[in-house]
Structures are given as structure tokens and as C-alpha cells.
Structure 1
């Protein structure tokens, strides 16, 4: 009965409180809502994992022209592991230790990432099969994501290693699966398609009471939902440009990635920081990240000193910038796709 009511309820494709850029607002506005009866919708959703594997000649041709489902899943997992292994990161799990997390370490993060590979592949297959954003696709992807979350929890012994990344990176995997030879896996095009998917409501989702959702409501910030619906601005307009600019200056790859993380932290209203330490944690993360960048970045001695000070401040607050870490993983994922396209590998 609850699901049927959700299907019949009139809802805008995007959350009404969000003021979106005009191009993305138009992209969300054109989407069609599927008001099919509950029985038909649930029948369509029941065999998602099996049905997603089916493909016709058109889908197979699209896969050949872009990046296969297994490749997309591999890139997604690699991005999660690369983010986890990147060292040093302020108060986050890395090669040195667990940061501000008592229930996570690098081995757990790796297990979690590998456990999600079938989920990412299923997300890609389903999006490629549907061929365009729709309410039904949004519901199918959500069901796959929820199943993937359970796989993650089993792999980690109950620790939430990558719940946010399933949403952020998973949407980008789906957006990338639409890409064909003409789009050439362009990061902006991928983010636009992922945003169109995110603008549809998840009609079968139970009311959520996650840490991030509570922080989003309490502090009136956008969170991961708005980030996706607005086209991943902290990836496209912050993370990727910072990564590319650092490389062009000859900065070593690890330092370039840390600087990309800090650039994201400097402006992101990170709900992980807000949940753990409120506005004090958010301000410590943002201001500390800016100080590192103003000192020349993590590749300079002054920048490393500022980075160490930032970590001390966050650890004293038991705060960790997990939202920024998820967006760095998304940045690395799109960066890998761009290199896949250039090399044709």
C-alpha cells in the first residue's frame, strides 16, 4: 500500500527546495514519470539483477563503442581503492592508519571496494539496457544499490565503508554507460546524464535516517543528493580542474590528488564533518584545506605543515571529511575514463 501510494503521488522530478542551474533544471524537467500500477512496477523491478544482464544487438554495439560494463566496474573499484590508499589524507583512512574512524582501516576499505564490483557492473548493465534516464531506471538502480550496500556490510563486518560512494560513483557509472563514440566518455556529458537520473525520486525507498540525511536537514545543506542533481559541481568544476592543474605544474601524482581532495574540502558542505562535529568540524575542514592550498599545496614544506595541522584539528574533533573523499573517488573515476578514451585501451 505504501509503495502504491508513492507511485500515485504527484512529485516533481527534482527536490523542490533545490535551486538548480538552468541547464540541469531543464534536463530534469523533461523527464517522464512512470505512473504504472504498483503490481506492474514491482514485476518489472523483481528480477533486476538477472534482467540487467540481458542485452540486444543495440546495447552490445553501444558497449563496444564506449566502455564495457566490466571495465566501468573495474574503474569504479580502482577509484575507491586509489582514494583509500592515497596518503596522507587529513583524518581519513590511508596507509598510515584509520584517521578518525574506529571501525575502518585500509584492509576493510579494500574489501568493501572489491565487494562492490558486481554492483557497479549491474548498474552499468541496467543503465545501458534502458538507454536513457527514466523513473523506472532510477528505481532499478536504487534496488541494485541497496543490494550492493548489503554486500558491502557483509564484506566489512557491518562497517559503512562506501555507502556514499555507492550513490556518487554508482550514478557516474550509470551515466558513463550511456556514452557512445560521439560522447567519447566526456566527463561533463557523463555528469549530466547521471544528474538526470538523480533528479527522479526513488519511489520505493523507505524513509531514511542516515547520518548524512540528519546532518543535511539540521544544517540545511545540499548533501550528496544535491551534489548529484546539480551535475557533480565539486567533481567537474573543482576536483578535476585541480587535479589537472597540479599535474600541469609538474606536481607528483599523489600530491596532485591530495590537492584535489583539499580543493573539494575547501568549498564542500561535507555532511560527514557536520555529523561528527557540527559547524566547528565543517569550518575546521574548509579553513584548514584553504590554508594548505594557500601555502602552496601538499607538495611544499609549508603546505605539508599546514596539512598536518589540519589533521590534528580534525582528529581533535573526531571529524573526518568522508563526503569529500567520495567526491575525490568520483574525480579519479572520471579521470580514468578520460584516459581510457584517449588511449582507446
Structure 2
């Protein structure tokens, strides 16, 4: 472990840098994990024709310089956190789109990472334990009312975002509902599966894939809904549940089935992008807890 993580007197600048490093690590590990059905990896473009592994690396590099700033926001400010996140987030998005020639690779994980970074900064400021429960509660507090403000008000709008349209059509709250509830999918399903897989002897790659499949089975992924509607979502969840039954990456038949899932997802143009973002968040929070044990 890096010696800086063991410093009991870690100042906010070093804490912000270390937290930013963990966030970027999570973003990279999510995209390099394989087999990840329908998603971009070093071995497949998944269900994407407009992006590949290199696109994600360029995007992550462009976003990396902003991550410590989110931590600093959480440390330095008590109010208006969401507005400050969005002000910095707009700049980060512009750099992302510049790096990817206009392709939206990581808007979802940018938002999640910003919130997690702010929550980590708040934990440091308040002197509270850097763990999943405190991070969850701070994210809840930071995003309180976001569904009411940004989704329920959509009924009176003409030009709708994808998230607003899906909320009106299906009642799905997407990433806004997830964060306003404190990342319940990550806390209840992603982290327990990831940690359990690691303890069983699986490596990080396979543990992340296990977490991905479990998350697909549990969440109403708006990326899938946007592309393929409710039938596509049910299909993806059904395949994920089959993979869980077959043992996921712990068994040969489970691994083979997950590879088969990948072929089926590509064939049906299914991409669980929302689930991928939650997997990255799972790893980030896992590592932040490890950091919290050392400071």
C-alpha cells in the first residue's frame, strides 16, 4: 500500500489527490474488466459502434484532473454542493467531449464520481469514518429533492432528456433516484458481491464482473431502457439471473454463460451502461473504505 495512505495526519491536498487516484482507478478497472456483456473492454467494443477502449482511456484522462476538485468542494463548503458539482462538471464534460470527438463515454460515472468525491471530502471535514454508510448518507443529503426537481417537473416540459422521457414513460428514476437514495444498489448488492467474490479467491477482474452481473439483475438500467425498452430490460435481467444461478465467474459454466451473454447483448444491441457506472462506484467506495481504515 502506498505510504501516503498510512499517514495519520494526511492533509486535505494529499487526501484529495489520493481519493482522486482511487476514483480514476475505479473508472479504469471497470472498462478493462472482461467479459463484460455489451460493454466496451480491451477485447470488445460491446454493443457500441461509436467508441472503443481507446476512447474510454482518452475520456478518463480528460476527466482525471477534476476529481480532486470535487473532494475539495466537499471539504471546503457546507452548502450548495450540488450546484458547485455541476459547475465543475460542465467543464469536465466539455473536456471529455473534446477528447472523444463528441462521444458521451462517461457522463454517468462523472456524476457518480463527483458525488462520491464530495462525500469523501465531507467525511474528512467532519471527522467521520470514511465508510459506505457515511458516504451514502452524505450523497443522500447532497442530492435531496433531485427527483422532484428534475424528473417530476418534466411533465410540463416539451424538450425532454432521455432520463426525463424514461421517467414519464416507465416511472424509472435512474441515476437521480439512485443517488437520492444513497446508492442502494451499490450498498446492498454491488459491494457485498464484490467483497464476497474477492474473499472466495477470485481476482479483481472476475469479482468486478460478478458485481456487474448482480447489479444488472437488480437495477432498472436506463441505458438498456433507452435503447431497447422494457422488453430489453427484462431480457437482460433474465440472462443476469441465469448467470448468477450458474455460479458467475466462480464456475466454468458460469464464465461460459457470461461470454454467451456478451454475444446475445451485442446481437440485440443491449448495453448495460448504467450498471457499469454502478460497478465503478462499487470499487471506488470499496477502496475508499480501505483508505478510511488507514487514516
Normalised by the shorter chain, which TM-score bucket? 0.7 to 0.9
Deviations 1:209-238 (A, max 9, x none): 433332233221120000000010011111
Correspondence list, 1:103-252, <5 A: 103-130=50-77, 132=78, 134=79, 136-180=80-124, 182-201=127-146, 209-252=160-203
In structure 2, C-alpha distance between the alignment counterparts of 1:86 and 1:76, rounded to whole Å: 16
Q: How far, CA to CA, are the matches of 1:62 and 1:195 in structure 2? A: 28
Change (3 A) 1:143 1:292: same
Q: Is the 8 A contact 1:100 1:318 kept in 2?
A: yes
Which range is displaced more, 326-335 or 304-313?
Answer: 304-313
TM-score w.r.t. length of structure 2: 0.88
Please give the per-residue CA displacement for 1:268-314, whole angstroms capped at 9, x wherever unaligned: 00000001111121112111111111101123111022212322222
Give the number of aligned pairs: 280
Name which of structure 1's ranges 322-331 and 251-260 shifts more when overlaid on structure 2: 251-260
Match of residue 260 from structure 2: 309
Q: How does 1:78-117 map to 2 (within 5 A)?
A: 78-117=25-64
Larger relative helix fraction: 2
Alignment of 1:287-302 (within 5 A): 287-302=238-253
Structure 1 unaligned spans of 5+: 1-60
Choose 1 or 2 for highest CA Rg: 1
Give the deviation of 1:265 after TM superposition: 0.6
How many Å apart are 1:168 and its aligned residue? 1.4
Q: Is 1:66–1:185's contact at 8 Å kept on the other side of the alignment?
A: no
Any idea what SS the aligned residue of 2:208 has? Answer: helix
**In structure 2, the residue corresponding to 1:116 is in which secondary structure?**
helix
Contact map agreement 1:67 1:177 (CA 8 A) in 2: no
In structure 2, what is the Cα distance between the partners aligned to 1:275 and 1:209? 13
